[in-house]
């Protein structure tokens, strides 16, 4: 029988904030793509379709007991890991990278669901792993292996942005569980030569160019530094109250690249200014704090870790994307959750919301 307490404890506030952000995102995509000569369905309509699909998945996820995820955690991890390997073997090449795989009726980008799967996997591991005075280096070997394998496979595609995000999400969960200072110091010392090795033998030339142009965009203002320069112009020209809806010159005159995807927030900043950006920041801050409140109230360790992991996923997306558009971080392909155009990103974020709703609804049962 259906437990009425599930409906009574449904987190309408969380859902309302998410729908508000997605609605603003759709309006922003409409403005950002209004100057495009689109063939077929407009981007803002496609985004609405993805929101509906994401909401259906969100409802599906929150209607099932989240402890089922605990039972199937390693199976999900293995399945997505196999897909990441298949991407490198038979994946679809697009813009010099292999990130997609064709599965009969549809294509999938396995690196996106890995963000959710790594949350579930590490939550399952640490929910059954006793930690008393913090994790030692020996304790970290297995979880770092679970985290490192998908990160390396994603970096091999190459997709540095998603690899960094998966690492940050997993690292946040590990830090939440607790790590001894001696282990942190040892890992920090080991990371110093690793940075040199990565720069010398792992990073591609275009990735190095992004870092160079992050430090000095004027090195190549018409090439690899163009994105940062135009984005900063758009954000700065918005001033206090912005230029008004569909009156941003950078976006309407098509100076701003990727303006409906990675740089959607630059369009919003130009049209609505500092005040509009502040409102969005408050909404995102509320969303993260509300999710952490769900984690705090949960009496189940697995559920608490899940909620923290989802908050970490949303937090790092927000920080990296907003930092990127104002020049605080190098340009990487990281969308703004619920705001930037993109089906896979929207679906992944909505599944994360479904997990938060699930934990919130069932917090009284454990």
117 vs 108: which has the higher pLDDT: 117
pLDDT at 189: 86
CA distances from 71 to 6, 35, 56, 300 (A): 21, 49, 23, 15
pLDDT in tens, 30-57: 998 887 766 667 889 999 999 999 999 9
283-306 pLDDT per residue, tens: 999 999 999 999 999 888 999 999
| Residue 47: predicted pLDDT | 93
Kindly give the pairing relationship between strand 97-102 and strand 107-108. Answer: antiparallel
Q: Domain count of the chain?
A: 1
Burial class (CB in 10 A: 0-12, 13-18, 19+), 160: buried
Highest mean pLDDT among 56-65, 82-91, 115-124, 241-250: 115-124
Question: In terms of pLDDT, which residue wins out, 336 or 254?
Answer: 336
Q: What is the mean pLDDT of residues 63-86?
A: 92
Q: Side by side, which strands form the sheet with 107-108?
A: 92-94, 97-102, 107-108
Range name among 114-123, 178-187, 198-207 with the lowest pLDDT average? 198-207
Q: Could you tell me which residues come within 8 angstroms of residue 185 by beta carbon, excluding any fewer than 6 positions away?
A: none
Contact 173, 123 (CB under 8 A): yes
pLDDT at 1: 46
Count, in order, helices (H) and strands (E) of the chain: 15, 3
- Reduce the secondary structure of 281-329 to three states and give it as a string: HHHHHHHHHHHHHHHHHCCCHHHHHHHHHHHHHHHHHHHHHHHHHCCCC
What is the percent of the chain with per-residue pLDDT over 90, rounded to a whole number?
Answer: 47
Q: What is the per-residue pLDDT across 210-251, written as a single tens digit (0 to 9) for each?
A: 777 777 777 777 776 788 888 899 899 888 999 989 888 888
3-state helix, strand, coil in the chain (%, to 5): 70, 5, 25
Q: Note the pLDDT of residue 6.
A: 63
Determine the distance from the C-alpha atom of residue 131 to the mean position of all C-alpha atoms in its chain, rounded to a whole number: 28
Domain that holds residue 15: 4-365
Mean pLDDT of the 107-135 span: 88
pLDDT the model gives residue 93: 73
> How far apart are alpha carbons 119 and 63 in whole angstroms?
19
């Amino acid at each position: 029988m259906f437990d009425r307490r599930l409906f009574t404890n449904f987190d309408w506030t969380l859902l309302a904030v998410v729908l508000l952000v997605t609605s603003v995102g759709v309006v922003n995509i409409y403005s950002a793509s209004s100057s495009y000569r689109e063939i077929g369905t407009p981007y803002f309509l496609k985004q609405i379709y993805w929101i509906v699909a994401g909401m259906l998945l969100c409802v599906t996820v929150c209607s099932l007991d989240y402890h089922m995820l605990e039972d199937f955690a390693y199976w999900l991890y293995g399945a997505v890991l196999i897909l990441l390997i298949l991407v490198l073997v038979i994946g679809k090449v697009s813009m010099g990278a292999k990130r997609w795989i064709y599965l009969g009726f549809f294509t999938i980008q396995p690196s996106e669901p890995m963000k959710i799967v790594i949350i579930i996997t590490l939550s399952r591991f640490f929910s059954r792993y006793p930690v008393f005075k913090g994790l030692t280096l020996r304790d970290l070997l297995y979880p770092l292996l679970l985290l490192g394998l998908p990160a390396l496979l994603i970096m091999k595609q190459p997709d540095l942005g998603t690899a960094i995000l998966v690492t940050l999400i997993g690292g946040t969960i590990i830090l939440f569980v607790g790590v001894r200072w001696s282990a942190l110091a040892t890992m920090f010392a080991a990371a110093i030569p690793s940075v040199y090795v990565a720069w010398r033998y792992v990073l591609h030339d275009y990735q190095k160019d992004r870092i160079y142009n992050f430090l000095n965009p004027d090195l190549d203002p018409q090439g690899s530094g163009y994105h940062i320069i135009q984005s900063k112009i758009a954000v700065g020209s918005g001033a206090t109250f912005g230029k008004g809806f569909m009156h941003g010159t950078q976006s309407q005159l098509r100076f701003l690249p990727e303006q409906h995807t990675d740089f959607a927030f630059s369009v919003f900043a130009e049209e609505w200014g500092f005040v509009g950006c502040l409102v969005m920041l408050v909404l995102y801050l509320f969303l993260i704090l509300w999710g952490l409140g769900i984690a705090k109230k949960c009496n189940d360790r697995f559920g608490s870790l899940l909620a923290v992991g989802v908050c970490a996923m949303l937090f790092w997306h927000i920080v990296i994307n907003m930092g990127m558009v104002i020049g605080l971080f190098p340009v990487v392909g990281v969308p703004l959750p619920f705001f930037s155009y993109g089906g896979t990103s929207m679906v992944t974020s909505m599944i994360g919301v479904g997990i938060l709703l699930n934990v919130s609804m069932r917090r009284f049962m454990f």
